[in-house]
Amino acid sequence: MADNHKDLDTTGHQWDDDEGFPLQEYNNPLPKWWLNSFYATIIWAVVYWVLYPAWPLPDGFTPGTLGETMRGEYQKEMDEAKARQKVFNDKLEKLSLKDISKDNQLLQFSISGGKALFGDNCAPCHGPAGIGVKAGGFPTLADDDWLFGGDLDTIHESITSGRTGQMPAHLKAAGGNFSDSQVDDLTAYVLSLSGKSSDKAAITRGDALFHGEATCNSCHGDKGNGSLKGTVAGQPLPQIGAPNLTDAIWLYGGDPKVVRESIAKGRSGEMPAWGAGAKESGRKLSELDIKKLTIYVHSLGGGQ
């Protein structure tokens, strides 16, 4: 290196005493624009301390003159959403379910809202878009095979107050009154209703039990087509959600083994209540939310 170090600007700080080429600190000033931005950030920090919550104090913190808080922001966000939806929600609150479904704009609004509510609250059991979950006996909501009814008012009632279904056990070992072979006969008859069994002798014996000693017809109807559509001796059945046994749709599964298990050990299903006074069953939904859900479920494909 040449002797040009003498021309360089240094800080004046020198580490050694080398006469010819001392080790010293160059002074390379920072670019003006950089330095100015740096000073600007410092000034901004001071402005920020004044405007926003910043410094912790022994008994609190400096709140800032703008009064901004996370919770305040949140409340604003919620209020804005509420105001945006107010036009629709006000109408929804006043109108009956039938009138809502007639108004296309309100219908779309309810379906979008209902879809979000359904995804979180209902889909864990009924599956996404209500496709049902066989393993737990959670019914499909996207078909027109209903247990309690698929019209708007009935769906609304099911969501508000919940539903319970009780199928008693029939096998002696499980607390019922019938032997193994009798349960086999009943299974054969039930399967024959949807054309899935051809053991004629067993079907005949099962038929007699179904309409006789086992009194299956008192819930499932004389034709086995369920409490919703069926009749016993010409009279309508109590609405207890006994499934239709004559179609290809099964609540717990239509495999002979599963059907036999349903008859032998019985089944119990519970749909929790979501309406007022149903706190213990989880999160309570507002009447407005239930209305939206009703419209959504009704729109899934099976609404009547």
Partner 1 sequence: MQHSTIEKSIPLMAILTLIMVSIGGLVEIVPLFFIKSTIEKVEGMRPYTPLELKGRDIYIREGCYNCHSQMIRPFRDETERYGHYSLAAESMYDHPFQWGSKRTGPDLARIGGKYSNEWHRAHMQKPQNVVRESVMPAYPWLQENELKYDDIEKRMKVMSMVGVPYTDEQVANAKKDLPDQASSTADGAGLIKRYGKKVPKAEFDGKPEKLTELDALLAYLQMLGTLVDFSGQQTKAR
- Applying CB under 8 A, the residues found at the interface with partner 1 are 13, 56-61, 69-75, 77-78, 81, 116, 120, 123-125, 127-128, 131, 133, 135-136, 138, 270, 272, 280-283
Q: How far apart are CA 121 and CA 139, in angstroms?
A: 15
Of residues 127 and 254, the one with the C-beta less far from partner 1: 127
Strand-strand pairing, 60-61 and 163-167:
unpaired
Please spell the DSSP secondary structure of 16-85, one letter per residue.
---SSS--EEE--PPPHHHHHHHHHHHHHHHHHHHHS---EETTEE---TT---HHHHHHHHHHHHHHHH
CB of 179 to partner 1, least distance (A): 27
Torsion of CA 233, 237, 243, 249, to 10 degrees: 70
Q: What is the CA radius of gyration of the chain?
A: 37
CB of 185 to partner 1, least distance (A): 31
CB of 241 to partner 1, least distance (A): 17
CB of 255 to partner 1, least distance (A): 16
CB of 27 to partner 1, least distance (A): 14
Of residues 81 and 213, the one with the C-beta less far from partner 1: 81
Q: At a CB cut-off of 8 Å and minimum separation 6, what does 47 contact?
A: none
Under DSSP, the state recorded for 244 is P
Of residues 134 and 211, the one with the C-beta less far from partner 1: 134
Of residues 20 and 58, the one with the C-beta less far from partner 1: 58
CB of 63 to partner 1, least distance (A): 8
Q: How far apart are CA 243 and CA 229, in angstroms?
A: 10
Of residues 80 and 99, the one with the C-beta less far from partner 1: 80
Of residues 180 and 287, the one with the C-beta less far from partner 1: 287
